[in-house]
Structure 1
Amino acid sequence: MTASFSAIESAALRSDRFRLERESDWQRLEAIVTRMEKGRLRRISDEDLLALPGLYRTVASSLSIARETSLDAATLAYLESLVQRAWFVVYGPRTSLWEWFRGFLGGGWSAAVRAIWFDILIALAVMVAGTVVGWLLVANDPEWFYALVPGGMSGERVPGATAEALRSTIFGNSGQNGMSVFAAQLFSNNAQVSILAFALGFALGVPSLLLLVHNMASLGAMLWLFHGAGLATDFAGWLAVHGTTELFAILLAGAAGLHIGRSLAFPGQKPVLQSTAEAGRRAALVMTGVVLMLIVAALLEGFARQLVDQTPGRFAIGGFMLAAWLAYFFAFRGNQGRSGRDHAG
């Protein structure tokens, strides 16, 4: 009984000694963290701010020792709570979600897009080439149409359809569901293409480019079909309402995937991991914006195109959206975020 009491007394003394030797640092860190949590930054001296990282590491080390030596539960719980609170102050996010979103729209997103301009040019060339390839394949052999355009998307829009039948699919559909189904399928397809084009960028960007070619080949086949019926302009207007936003989103997604692939293949003077990490952060910022663009495209597809049933009006909406995106990305500077200051690899 005496030996047990002596062991308890020895452990208590060891815990008290451990606490007394380090308690001043704990209390100083707790005071700084409490002020920062309450937003009282002006009451914190420059000396305390400079000491904050070192104090955090000191207390974290104390916690590690306390765990290894099995100190009393109260000290251990206090240190765990203090280290957790200090971690959020030292390494946690410095801005709220709203502040981040405001910075994102206020220049961060546009800066990230400008940083991958070279990849955008490559992706744009590939998309144009894919459209031309789709047109030429179907023009040479109409059977290619069925290979390039999924049956669920084509419906009545197939080779051999009359001009009147094709025209009825792009005009006078405000109260019909047929074209809405096609539009929903088209949007779903393009959303999947955008995500895959970005996700497959790790394979040196090659799958991303092939995916862009295949997707645009189906558009080329559709353009050939409506051109043969003398409705190419009307079809382009029907597509422009949401297409200038949706296709722009696909372009950026493909460029973001290609940007990651290029950073892997050509890291330049930087280590591969560093180059890829920087490109990944930049591309992720671009893809966050791509999601917003797809949402805007869905709204245009669901409302604007149904309400405007004339080709000039449709071109006006699509042209305005294209001009707005170009102005935002390449003319608007705003407050560039950290990602915007990175240069493309």
Structure 2
Amino acid sequence: MNAEQFVKAHRGDWHRLNELVQKTQQSRLNSLSDEELHELGTLYRRAAADLARVQTRYASTSAGRELVRSLNDLVLRAHTQVYAAPAPQPMGGVNFVLYGFPATVRRQWRVIAVSAFLMFGPALLAHLAVLFNPDLAPLFVPDSAIREVQHRAQKKIITGWGGNNEFQGLLSSPAISSFIMTNNILVTLKAIAMGVTMGLGTALVLIFNGLMLGGLSGVAMNEHVDLLFWAVILPHGILELSAITIAGGAGLVLARALYAPGDLPRRDAIKIAGGEAARLAVGVAGILVIAGLIEGFITPQPIPPLLKIAFALLTAIGLILYLNLRPRPTVVG
């Protein structure tokens, strides 16, 4: 294959790489979709390999030397975008909170969706299992938590729109608070860290957490206090469960780089995935802080259950709107 044939065979890849590089130079890597990020890494690797071939085979001719200069410039610009540290920006932390974290969640929506399936799928199965066979509850939920729900259900006092004074203190009981609050924080940390186990540990953490959640909700439904139970759980639980799901996605991002680095060297794939996982972890920490404030100041209040459910719905809508925040397009030139 002569130089002209080589150029014809690879011109399309070089042109596409140049387009992606120009896009990142104008709007930074955050502007690329997950597919475009993968494509950028793949095309960069190919262009670097093409440059090595051109230098070896065609550099002796004037056309070959010109091709070397052109390809070298393209590879250098691509390398700068892939590996260079982000340029400092005014109020970088604010920009990350407003736009960087939501953009990262959107880029990684597929692995986050897998994470959600791994947790809420088993939760549904455990809920149905306990609902149809209450004797199965101890398989999913500690006995102390089961007894606490049953005890408070037996002493329930209906007020207002079905409010239950006994259930307002549900989270203050040692059995329930240690089971739900501490558990969610530990699950979040484990879901991220266990990504280094090729994702197996992350998957198990999500599955077991889902089984416990579904089992406990099944116990509440069998005791006919499911509305009261969810009124206690959901005001802060929407954010906590979302944080766990995103944390699971972060762990799976790391796992994907370990077992399926694609065309990138595994070391480079892990470096890129580590950055994505770190951004997700920082955002998750912020979500947990807000959930903790709600848990401390809103959840314990003697508010009618339907109002608490409505508040939980507002937190869900707010989270969806937040994760879709995008900066205004920057006009270049």
Q: Which interval holds the TM-score relative to the shorter structure? A: 0.5 to 0.7
Equivalent position SS for 2:292: helix
**Structure 1 spans left out of the alignment, 5+ residues:** 1-90, 337-345
Q: Which residue of 2 aligns with 1:188?
A: 182
Query: Which one of 311, 322, 326 corresponds to residue 317 of structure 1?
Result: 311
Equivalence map 1:40-55=2 (5 Å): none
Q: Deviations over 1:161-213 (max 9, x none)?
A: 58434679x83259858635433541111000000010001112121111111
Normalising by structure 1, report the TM-score.
0.63
Q: Secondary structure at the match of 2:262?
A: coil
- Structure 2 counterpart of 1:295: 289
In the aligned structure 1, how far is the partner of 2:168 from the partner of 2:228? Answer: 19
Report the CA distance between 1:113 and its aligned residue.
0.9
Conserved in 2, the CA contact under 8 Å of 1:106 and 1:335?
no
Whether contact under 8 Å (1:183, 1:301) holds in the other structure is no
- 1:1-345 paired onto structure 2 within 5 Å: 95=88, 99-139=91-131, 141-158=133-150, 163-165=153-155, 171-172=164-165, 176=169, 179=172, 181=174, 182-183=176-177, 185-329=179-323, 331-334=324-327
Q: Which amino acid aligns with 1:269?
A: D
**Equivalent residue of 1:257, what SS?**
helix
Distance 1:298 1:311, change over 3 A: same
Aligned position for 2:74: none
Q: Which amino acid in the other structure matches residue 136 of structure 2?
A: W
Larger Rg: 1
RMSD: 2.8
When the two structures are superposed, what TM-score results if normalisation uses the length of structure 2?
0.65
* Structure 1 residue 137, shift from structure 2 partner: 3.8
Cα distance in 1 between the residues matched to 2:194 and 2:168: 39
2:168–2:302 Cα contact (<8 Å) kept: no
Q: CA–CA distance in 2 between the matches of 1:316 and 1:122? A: 28
**320-329 vs 247-256, which moves further:** 320-329
Deviations 1:239-280 (A, max 9, x none): 110110000000000111011111211112211111111111
SS in 1 for 2:134: coil
Amino acid at match of 2:106: R
Cα offset, 1:227, TM superposition: 1.3
Mapped to 2, the partners of 1:299 and 1:309 lie a distance apart of 16
CA distance in 2, matches of 1:303, 1:219: 23
Ranges in structure 2 where 5+ consecutive residues have no aligned partner: 1-83
**Contact kept in structure 2, 1:162 and 1:229, CA below 8 Å:** no
State the SS of the aligned residue for 1:156.
helix
In 1, Cα distance between the equivalents of 2:167 and 2:217?
22
Alpha-carbon contact 2:240-2:287 (below 8 Å) kept: yes
Alignment CA distance shift 1:270-1:150 (3 Å): same
Alpha-carbon contact 2:130-2:215 (below 8 Å) kept:
yes
Secondary structure of the residue that 1:307 maps to in structure 2?
coil
Aligned counterpart, 1:7? none
**2 CA distance for matches of 1:332 and 1:92?**
24
Quote the sequence identity (%). 25
Q: Which amino acid letter does the alignment assign opposite residue 105 of structure 1?
A: V
